[in-house]
Structures are given as C-alpha cells and as structure tokens.
Amino acid sequence: MRPKIVLLLLFFALTLFAQNPFKETRYIYAIDKTLLLEGYITFGEQNVIIEYTKPQPKVLTYFEGGLSIQDENGYTATQLNANSAMNYFFMIIKAIEENNDALLESFFTSKTDAQTTILEPKDTASQMVQEVKITKNGNKLKSLHVELKNGDRITIETVD
Amino acid sequence: MKQWTKALNIGFFIVVLGLFFSFRQMWSVSTDLMALLPQNKSKTLFETYSSFKNAKEVFVATQGFDKDSLSHIKKIEERLTKENLLKLESDIKLNAPLKKYIQENIFYLRELNEKPSQNVAGIVQKLFEQITTNPYYTAIDTQDPLGYFKPLNPNKELNIKNAHLALGDFGYLSVFSLSDTSNTKESFQKVYDIVKQEVGESPNIKAFSPIFYFVENAQKTQKDVTLIIFFSTALLLFLYLLVIKNIALLFNTILTLATSGLIAFMATCSVFGSVSIFTLAFGNAVGTLAIDYMFHHYFHDHYSKSKPFSRTVFFGFLTTFGAFFIISFVDFPLIKQLSFFAMISLFLSYMQFAILFPMIGFKQAKTISTFRFSVPLPYKTIATISFLTILGAIYFLHVETDLRRLDYQNKPLMELEGFFKKATLKQDYTPILIEANSVDELILRSKTIQKEFQKTLTPLAFFVDKQTFAKRQETLQALDFEMLEKEVEKEASRIGFRENFFKNAYSQELLYPQHTELDASKIQEMGFDVVTKNNLFYTHAMVKTEDVKEVEKRGFAYGINSKEMFLESLKHVTYQLLFGGALVLVLMTTILLITCRKTLALSSSYVLFPTALILLVGINDFTIIHIFMLFIVIAFGIDYGIYMGAKEHSRVQTKNAILFSLMSTFAGFGVLIFSQIGALFAMGLVSCLGVGAIFVLLLGGDKE
C-alpha cells in the first residue's frame, strides 16, 4: 500500500508539469543516494504518457485500470485493480487539470503563502507523506517538493 | 317504549363514540405487514437482519465522474451528516480502531505467499535495482522485504474511482447508516425527509434506502385506503338512499354499521395492540356483509309487520360467523385479526338488524321491481362442473408467497432498488445471517463460508479468529525469520543499503502478537455489523442466490428472503388452514342439508360457481388474501344459497334483497379492485368475481 501512495504523489508532482519538460531529483534514504531524472509528460483524454529521457529512455503509459512500461527490453503491461494507485493517479491528474478542489481535499489540507502552497497530508496519505510544497512563479509552476516519512525526498522542477 | 327503543340505537352509538374519543390514545393503526406474520424462527432472523445498520443503509449516487459530480456528492455527504441523523459509511479511509487492529495483526491478516523465494541475496539485489532503476518512485516494504505476505487490501470489494466509492459506471456513491437505531417510523420519516430535501428531484442524483419503503408505502397505503373508504362509503350511502328510500332506516343502518365497526376496532386494538390498515379496510367492507341481514329482514317485511324470527337469516349469519370463528383459530396474526374484527362486527350488526330494528319498526317503501324475467339455468350441471373445476384448480393452484406482493407496489422505488443492485452487481445475491455462540466463532464461520463459496461478501471474514491465529502462528514459528532478518541485513549492507535499514523486518512484535480478543462492541467500533440476541451472535454476508440452500446446509447460516419467510410461516399453519377449511365446509354442508335439502343443487351452486371462477382466474397467483377472501365469498354465497332455498319467502323479494346485497358488497369490497395495494386489490378482485358469479346465478329461473 505504501509504495502506491508514494507513486501516486510522484505522479501528482509530474502532472503539475503537464506538457512541459521537467527535471526530477529523487533522494533515496535507503541507499543515501540522489537520482536525477529528466523527461516530458503528455496528457491525453483517457491516458497520461510520461517519457523519461534520462538516465534511461522509458515510456510509461497510464490508462484506467492499467499501466504499461516501454523500454529497451520491450513492452510490459499490468492490469491494476479498481482501487489501486492507478485510480488515484488519474484522480490527481484530473484534480490538477480541472482545479478539482474536492478531490485534492480528499488527501490534503492546503496553506498558501505568497508563491508557495503547502499541502499537509491527512488520513491515509499522512501515514506516508510528511509534506508537499508547491512553488509558483506567477501562475506558472516552478517546483514541487515532496518529503516522505521514510526519509525519501523528491523535488521536481520545470525546465524553461 | 317505542320512543325509548327508537333512541336506543342513537344512544348506543353516542356511548360507543364517547368511548372511542375518551380512550383515543389507545387506538392505533399499523401499516406494518411484518407485524401480521407469526413469530417464528424465520421472522426472528428477519428482524435480526433488519437490526443491522447494513439493512437500513441510505444510498446516494451522483451521475458522472467529473469534478462537479464529486463536489456535489461531497456537499451532500456534508449536509446529510450535519444533523447527526446519518453517518457516512462509504468513507474509504479506515477508522482509528480498525487501523490499530490492522497494524497489530498485519502478519495475520495478510495472506501468506505459498512459495516465497529462499534466495535472500537475489531478492535484496532486486530491491536495490527497483529503487535505483525504476522509472517511477518505488518504496520498499521494510516489514516484509522478502515478500512472504501478500499485500493487504481491505477495500478490495469496493469500486473506487477518484478516491471515492463509485456506483458502477453511473457515478459516485455515498452510503450512510442511520445514527438512530430505534427503528421507529418517526426516525425513518426524519431520515426520508432530510434525504429528499437535500437530494431534491434532480435526475442526476439517485437516492434509495430500504427504509424508504416503510415511509412511502405507509403514506401511499394510508392515502389509498382513505380514498377507497371515502369512495366506498359514498357509494354505499348513494345506494342505500336509492334502495331503502327510508331516511330513518338509512340513518339507523349507518349508526348500526358505525357502532359495530367502532366496537370491533376498539376490541381488536385492545386485544392485538393495534389494528392493521388492512383489517380496517376489510372491516369497512365487512359492514356490507352485515347489511345483507338488514336487506332480508326489510324486504320480507320484518320491520313493518309483526313477523316471527327469521330462521333463514339466522342460519345465514350463523354460517358466516361460524366460518370466521373456525378460521380465527389458525395461528396466523393476520388471519386472527381479520376474523376477530369480522366476528365482532357481524355479531353486533346481526343483533341490531335482527332484534333491535324490528322493535324500532320501519315502514316498507315501494321497492324497485327487478327480476321480472329469468333465464332457465341448469343448476345441477353448474354445481357439478363447478365442483369438478374446483378439484382440478386446487391441484394446479400456485400459491404466491412473496409478502411484498401484498404491499403497495411501489414501482418507482422498486426500479431504484433494482438500479442500485444492478450497478453494485448485487442483483444475483441474497443476504444471509450467520449465527454463532461467540464473536470468535462468528469470524470463523464467516471465513468458512468465504472459503467454501465463490464470490461471497463476508465482511467478518476479514478478522482473525483464535483457530486461524494459532495455525498462522504455528506456520510462522516453523519459518526461521530471525535468521532471515539477519541474512537480509547482511546482504543489504553488502549491496549498498544504509546500515540497519531492515532492522524492523519480521519483528517479533508483528510475528508473535497477542491474539486480539474481539467482542461485539469492538467489532462495531471498527465499523462492522454484529448483533447479540438470546445469547447468540449474528452477522451478515451476501452469497450468490443459487448458493443459499447449500450455505444453509451448514446449519449456522440462514438466507434472508421475505418470500421464504412467508412461505415458512404459511407452512406452519398449512394443516391448521386445511383443517379449518374442512371444518368450514362441514359446517356449510350441514347447514345446507338442514335448511335446503330440496334445493341443494341451486343453493350449493351459489357457493361452488363463484369459488370455481375465483380459483380459475387466480390459479397462477393465489395469495393468502385470495384464500381469505374466497372464504368470505363462500360465506356470503352460502347465505344467498340458504335464502334462495327458503320456501317461506317470496323468491322475487329474496332476489331483490340479494341483488342489493351484492351491490353493497361491490360498493364495500369490490371498490378495492381500484387499490394499488396488492392485498386490497386481491380482496377487490375476488369479491368482484364472486359478485359477478352470483349475479349470473340470480338471473336463473325458479326451476332447477
């Protein structure tokens, strides 16, 4: 259950940079190392495609009930059950796209101070997430920072 | 003396009316069909099931999965829970006690992977690769890095979309339970009102709850019965004015019927606690049976001339009263109540029409001359064919036992129920009740059913009973987790994991916790349904309908089905009904033989022909109400048979009396055919068929 929520938050982060190139810094407490990733995200009507260009080219496609990964080893697809992270993923994406506050409020309470919005997790999310920070430059997203309770940290920044 | 007797009827009515108003807090009318069923195991189980919050949940769904729909359902949730009448049950978040229970028993709740890999080094290496090379963020389960346990998903039976419960492809779904568990009509009404107020009439929102049947059906039944009573009374008044043409007699007849009805109502209330709305409608109609006595006395000059006591009417009354008396012994509250009401009402009416009215005296008005012609009818043939038809029809008769067929056919609500069941894929499921001597046994039995039957929804099977706990503990003890944990730590350090990162893997605390003793209140706190009754514990589950019989063979699970319950209730009284029916037949035959030996074919055809017709028309759909009304048709059929067989009276006047009785019977009983309530419609249909058949017989000539 836990990895799914973190996965969800990552996607949540990525969706903030819809149709934009992004840079991701992933600190992994378990190995005390930081990974750097780069890529693009595209939103379809029914799916979301995340194309990583670095460190290795990989394409992730999410659609309702399923996930596919395409890399140099070929194509793999998994059917996810209805209440899996996949649904949460779509939920978050829609929330961002549609300014769906009702949906976001299912997981977070938010505090906005000037250009920064802090999302405080509640209920199930609070078991995993310490804090989410969104920084904007005007109406444009600048960065997103997720701190997890297991010590991992993920920072995503838009690339101009 | 004359003045005194004239005032007696009025005085009697005033006293009864006074009593009625003085003790009005004692009288109540019930619309609950369940209350009319005998108390047996089946009914007790049904009542137990009804006490679960699960049986009275309120479902609200908003169409679509867009942001407006989600925002709408959340607002509805907020408003409906604001007054604490309803509690949101569809929240997919786990409550605190359940969360704690899961945390403490996680290795006992998660299924064991049958063949976990023994290659610790390989698994740890794979974990390292996953977190470093997976394109999406991956977290490690530090409690079970080797994957001995399958992931736990307490919401796996739910359809969730956008973090909210979903109703198939329709939209979002919210499920509420009633905070007030008193199960009173008032509490149901409050909930109904608030839901209707919040949900409104929007086509994009659907709301349903089984409790809506209680509220809407009671309202519709009351409205329907009031309208029918009003219509029936108006029709009767018009008819009496047309036929009797004697205001004093009409006035006294109305007083007599009202007095008898009121006394019967008060006596039934005192004995049974309340009077069913069905008995009330029936009671109004019984008055029309009683008016038959007045018509015969009146048309044969008993009120205008000094005539001896009418033996014919007495035998007619005795047969009807006797029939009700015999079937009142059938151990079925509905039958008892109807018979009791009818006996009192008929007895009082007869006493007044046969004794008091001749004392008061009424002038005979010129009656409308009717039967100037007659068609020769072969009564012997009619009686014989009818008798054979009855024998054949009884063989092929299908008795409909679905209790809901007798209630108001609330089609819009039934459609809504069907919609929710279909959308939640529960239309092929039947609720069952699981019984045990303890909560622990209840959990074990839930698990047994879940294991033995595919696709069951057994909420309590989620928990761990003592036996399962001990088995799992034994299995875990056989696996050397202490050694595995050390190996994981060693390999992790070698590969490059942080020191002590897996220190919590397979902790003693999770491997060997104390078994959590669960009682009913703890289970309820965690949001699950358990009730205690007579030192036994009950919970519910849903099984495929075709599996119910098999599940019941376990001896601790019972299907909850109102149709079956009614059938079982009927089965208990089958012999009593058959015995009662046979006794009634013996009584009628005896009276027919005593009073109409010479006109047996003619007189018996008044019973046999309507009976045959009713059985033929209702052969595929015969309810208990059909059966009961058939008894009544037989009762007035035999009255008319006796009257027709009486040689001391003018046949034309007898026919006149019967015709007007039939007309008033139609006005009393027959109008019920316009009712939307199954039970009342059945009463109306049967009486219309009876009236029609007897009318045909009346057209016959004097010769048999």
Amino acid A83: pLDDT = 38
**Residue B537 near residue B520 (C-beta atoms within 8 A):** yes
Give the A window 21-60 contacts with B, CB below 8 Å.
26, 28-33, 35, 37, 50, 52, 56, 58, 60
Half-sphere exposure of B638 (CA within 13 A, CB side): 27
Length of chain A: 160
What is the CATH classification number for the domain harbouring A115? 2.50.20.10
DSSP string, B481-518: HHHHHHHHHHHHHHHTPPTTTTTTTT-HHHHSPPP---
> Does residue A115 carry a pLDDT above 70?
yes
Q: Name the nearest CA neighbour of B568 among B395, B403, B397.
A: B403
- Facing residue for A81 by CB, picked from B71, B156, B162: B156
Phi, psi at residue A53, to the nearest 5°? -105, -30
Which of A106, A127, A150, A156 to probe the B interface (max B CBs under 10 A)?
Answer: A106
**Residue B692 near residue B633 (C-beta atoms within 8 A):** no
Give A49's contacts (C-beta < 8 A, 6+ positions apart). Answer: A41, A42, A59, A60, A61, A62
| pLDDT tier for residue B436 given thresholds of 50, 70 and 90 | very high
> Does residue B651 carry a pLDDT above 70?
yes
Q: Which of A128-132, B151-155, B538-542 has the highest mean pLDDT?
A: B538-542
Distance from CA of B448 to the nearest CA of A (A): 25
Pairwise CA distance, residues B325 & B343, whole Å:
7
Q: Which residue has the tokens 């035998």?
A: B315
pTM score > 0.90 for this model? no
Distance from CA of B133 to the nearest CA of A (A): 8
Average of per-residue pLDDT across B543-568 = 82
Q: Which residue has the higher pLDDT, B571 or B459?
A: B459
Question: Is the CB of B128 less than 8 angstroms away from the CB of A31?
Answer: yes
- Facing residue for B155 by CB, picked from A28, A71, A83: A83
Q: In Å, how far are B190, B207, B217, B333, B533 from B213, measured between CA atoms?
A: 14, 12, 5, 22, 26
Average of per-residue pLDDT across B273-296 = 78
Per-residue tokens: B17 = 């009316």
> Does residue B559 carry a pLDDT above 70?
yes
Amino acid B55: pLDDT = 76
**Vertex B571: Cα angle to B565 and B575 (nearest 5):** 160
Is A12 at the interface with chain B, CB within 8 A?
Answer: no
Distance from CA of B419 to the nearest CA of A (A): 21
B199-244: pLDDT as tens digits: 777 788 899 988 888 888 878 877 887 887 788 778 877 877 777 7
CATH topology for the B58-96+160-208 domain: Alpha-Beta Plaits (3.30.70)
In Å, how far from its chain's centre is CA B664?
31
A135-148: pLDDT as tens digits: 877 766 678 788 88
Average of per-residue pLDDT across B9-30 = 87
Phi, psi at residue B327, to the nearest 5°? -75, -10
Residue A94: its chain B contacts at CB < 8 A? 67, 162
Total count of domains within chain A: 1
Is A154 at the interface with chain B, CB within 8 A?
Answer: yes
> Does residue B449 carry a pLDDT above 60?
yes
Pairwise CA distance, residues B668 & B566, whole Å:
28
In chain B, % of residues over pLDDT 70: 90
Tally C-beta pairs within 8 A across A and B. 102
Amino acid B116: pLDDT = 65
B149-175: pLDDT as tens digits: 887 765 556 677 777 888 888 889 888
> Does residue B692 carry a pLDDT above 60?
yes
Pairwise CA distance, residues B701 & B284, whole Å:
33
**Residue B326 near residue B339 (C-beta atoms within 8 A):** no
Amino acid B403: pLDDT = 62
| pLDDT tier for residue A85 given thresholds of 50, 70 and 90 | very low
> In chain A, what's the furthest Cα-to-Cα distance?
46
Bridge partner list, B692: none
**Average pLDDT across chain B, whole number:** 83
Per-residue tokens: B383 = 């009686």
Amino acid A12: pLDDT = 52
Bridge partner list, B60: B174, B207
Phi, psi at residue B432, to the nearest 5°? -125, 160
**Chain A: residue whose CA lies nearest to B65:** A91
Domain that holds residue A106: 2-158
Amino acid B431: pLDDT = 87
Amino acid B95: pLDDT = 83
For chain B, residues classed under CATH 3.30.70 are 58-96+160-208
Distance from CA of B531 to the nearest CA of A (A): 29
B307-352: pLDDT as tens digits: 778 888 888 888 888 888 988 888 888 888 888 998 999 999 999 9
Give the A window 69-88 contacts with B, CB below 8 Å.
69, 71, 81-83, 87-88
Amino acid B464: pLDDT = 93
Amino acid A138: pLDDT = 73
> Does residue B483 carry a pLDDT above 60?
yes
Amino acid A2: pLDDT = 47
The stretches of B330-461 forming alpha helices (DSSP H) are 333-351, 357-360, 379-396, 411-423, 439-452
Question: Is the CB of A100 less than 8 angstroms away from the CB of B71?
Answer: yes
